[in-house]
Amino acid sequence: MSRRRDTIEAGYFDALYSADPDPWRFRTSAYEHDKYRATIEALDRPRYAAALEVGCAIGVLTRQLAARCDRLLAIDGSSVALAQAQRDCAALAHVDFACRMVPAGFPSGRYDLIVLSEVLYYLTAADLEAVAQRCCDALQPGGTIVLCHWLGETDYPLTGDQATDGFAATALRRSLVRERLAGEVYRLERFRAP
């Protein structure tokens, strides 16, 4: 299977969500439910003051993260997906949403938790490095980054392994501590700032 050469643009995701409000079955698939459970279990504190979720899609994981955060900013490049997430999370006053594509739209601010779930393999290697740099810059001392990426075959610019290892290379250069938590169907890793 040939891989895309460029970072996948917002229009790709808008078309998917316009054709099917839940194209990856975030709400119903056993894989997604297991991945969400494992991601929440990977959180190393009972509560976070300020969190960032990059690639929130329709907000299924967002709702679970919100239970552990005082403030949560959830971003996604698809305005169609984001509209669903905002509706589903309307009662969560401490959650804010923004339509942004990374790396160019990476938000300002500092966070003690950053979650990137199934988003980094849509980027080119250069854009991945830029996102990893921005995450490291935005992470509070002692903060946590959690990555989770599917390991199956796609036509995305990067594989799940390439995305995770590429991010890790930048994080390790910035002295973050890496912990591998799962790696058969998806890669789940945690990085901690000193």
Over the stretch 63-88, which tens digit does the pLDDT of each residue have? 999 999 999 999 999 999 999 999 99
Residue 176, pLDDT > 90, answer yes
Chain mean pLDDT for the chain: 97
Q: Name every residue whose Cβ is closer than 8 Å to that of residue 77 and which is 6 or more positions away in sequence.
A: 9, 10, 13, 55, 99, 100, 101, 102, 105
In the prediction, which pLDDT does 104 show?
Answer: 97
What is the pTM assigned to this prediction?
Answer: 0.97
The percentage of residues in the chain with a pLDDT greater than 90, rounded to a whole number, is 97
Residue 6, pLDDT > 90, answer yes
pLDDT, tens digit (0-9, with 9 covering 90-100), for 86-144: 999 999 999 999 999 999 999 999 999 999 999 999 999 999 999 999 999 999 999 99
Once rounded to an integer, what is the mean pLDDT over residues 22-49? 97
Q: Name every residue whose Cβ is closer than 8 Å to that of residue 24 and which is 6 or more positions away in sequence.
A: 32, 57
Q: Where residue 1 falls among pLDDT bands split at 50, 70, 90?
A: confident
Query: How many CB atoms neighbour CB 133 within 10 A?
Result: 16
pLDDT, tens digit (0-9, with 9 covering 90-100), for 150-172: 999 999 999 999 999 999 999 99
Residue 27, pLDDT > 90, answer yes
